[in-house]
Amino acid sequence: MSLVDLERRLARLEAARYVGAPTALLSDAPFGDAAGDLRAADALANWQRWVAQEKATLSNGVLCLVSPELSSEEWAARFVTEH
CB 75 within 8 A of CB 66: no
Q: Would 3 be classed as within a structural domain?
A: no
54/48 Cα distance (integer angstroms): 10
Q: Would 53 be classed as within a structural domain?
A: yes
Q: Would 14 be classed as within a structural domain?
A: no
Q: Stretch 33-41: mean pLDDT, rounded?
A: 78
Q: Stretch 20-40: mean pLDDT, rounded?
A: 78
Q: Stretch 8-19: mean pLDDT, rounded?
A: 75
Residue 33 has pLDDT above 80, yes or no: no
pLDDT for the residue numbered 18:
61
Domain that holds residue 70: 20-79
Q: Would 4 be classed as within a structural domain?
A: no
For the chain, the domain total comes to 1
pLDDT for the residue numbered 19:
65
Q: Would 39 be classed as within a structural domain?
A: yes
